[in-house]
C-alpha cells in the first residue's frame, strides 16, 4: 500500500478512535463535567448506599437503612456554611411544603447530612434545623460520627468536600432522592426544587 493511502487509512482510524474515546468519556457528548456524569450515571443505574450510623439533632442514633420503604430526600451541609447551605435549608423547606401532608413522614422523609461532624454536634444541628423548621422526625438534620463511614457515604453519593481558605468547605451541592429500595435514584440541581417535588409526588 502506498504511503499516502496508509496515511489516510490510519488517520481515519485515529480519528474514529479519538471520537469514540470522547463519546465514551462524556456519556455520548452529554456529560463534560464530573457533576453531570454523576447525575447521568445515577439515572441509568440507581446506586446502592452504605448503611451508615447517624446521629440527629436530638442526639438520637439511627441508620440510613431505617428509611427503606420510604422515599428520602437527602442533601449535604455543614452548619457554619453561610452561603449555599443557607439556601439549601430554604429549598428543603420548600420541597417539604410541596409534598401532600398525609405522605410526610409516612412515605416521604427529608434528611440533611452534615459532613463536618467535629463541629456539628446535636446542638449545632438543632440550631440549623430550627432555622428552617426541621422537626427531627419528618426532616432530620444529622451527622455521621465515624470518619470512615462518612467518607464511604460521600463516595457513594459522589460528594467531594474540599476545605476553602476561610475555614469552611466547598462541595458539590444538589438534591438527592433515595428510592424505597434504599438506592440513590435521582440527583438534581438545587434550583429545581419544584420539579424535584413533582417527581417525588409522582412516585408516592
**Grid cell 438543632 in the structure block, residue:** 126
Q: Which residue in 153, 66, 73 sits closest to 110, CA to CA?
A: 73
Applying CB under 8 A, which of residues 55, 101, 107, 162 lies at the interface with other proteins? 162
Does 30 bind other proteins (CB under 8 A)? Our answer is no
**Integer Cα distance of 66 and 51 in angstroms:** 9
Smaller CB separation from other proteins, 9 or 148: 9
Does 43 bind other proteins (CB under 8 A)? Our answer is no
- Sheet with 183-188, strands from edge to edge, namely 47-48, 183-188, 175-178, 71-77, 108-114, 139-143, 53-56, 61-63
**Integer Cα distance of 85 and 173 in angstroms:** 8
# chain residues binding other proteins, by CB under 8 A:
32
Smaller CB separation from other proteins, 52 or 159: 159
How far is C-alpha 37 from the geometric centre of its chain's CA atoms?
Answer: 13
**Integer Cα distance of 175 and 193 in angstroms:** 8
Cβ 133 to other proteins, closest distance in Å?
Answer: 29
Cβ 179 to other proteins, closest distance in Å?
Answer: 23
- Beta-carbon-side half-sphere exposure of residue 38 (alpha carbons within 13 Å): 19
Does 7 bind other proteins (CB under 8 A)? Our answer is yes
Listed ranges 10-18, 52-60, 117-125, 139-147: which one lies at the site for other proteins (CB under 8 A): 10-18
Which residues in 52-111 contact other proteins (CB under 8 A)? none
- What are residue 141's DSSP bridge partners? 112
Cβ 57 to other proteins, closest distance in Å?
Answer: 28
Applying CB under 8 A, which of residues 21, 48, 90, 194 lies at the interface with other proteins? 21
Binding site for other proteins (CB under 8 A): 3-4, 6-11, 13-15, 17-19, 21-22, 25-26, 31-37, 158, 160, 162, 164-165, 170, 172
Amino acid at each position: 500500500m502506498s504511503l499516502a493511502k496508509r496515511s489516510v487509512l490510519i488517520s481515519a482510524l485515529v480519528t474514529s478512535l479519538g471520537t469514540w474515546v470522547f463519546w465514551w468519556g462524556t456519556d455520548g457528548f452529554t456529560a463534560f463535567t464530573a457533576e453531570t456524569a454523576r447525575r447521568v450515571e445515577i439515572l441509568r443505574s440507581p446506586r446502592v448506599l452504605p448503611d451508615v450510623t447517624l446521629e440527629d439533632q436530638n442526639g438520637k442514633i439511627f441508620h440510613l437503612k431505617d428509611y427503606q420503604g420510604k422515599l428520602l430526600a437527602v442533601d449535604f451541609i455543614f452548619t457554619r456554611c453561610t452561603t449555599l447551605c443557607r439556601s439549601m435549608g430554604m429549598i428543603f423547606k420548600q420541597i417539604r411544603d410541596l409534598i401532600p401532608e398525609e405522605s410526610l413522614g409516612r412515605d416521604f422523609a427529608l434528611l440533611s447530612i452534615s459532613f463536618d461532624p467535629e463541629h456539628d454536634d446535636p446542638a449545632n444541628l438543632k440550631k440549623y434545623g430550627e432555622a428552617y423548621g426541621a422537626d427531627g422526625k419528618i426532616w432530620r438534620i444529622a451527622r455521621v460520627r465515624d470518619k470512615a463511614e462518612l467518607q464511604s457515604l460521600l463516595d457513594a453519593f459522589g460528594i467531594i468536600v474540599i476545605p476553602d481558605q476561610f475555614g469552611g468547605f466547598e462541595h458539590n451541592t444538589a438534591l438527592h432522592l433515595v428510592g424505597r429500595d434504599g438506592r440513590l435514584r435521582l440527583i438534581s440541581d438545587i434550583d429545581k426544587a419544584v420539579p424535584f417535588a413533582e417527581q417525588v409526588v409522582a412516585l408516592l
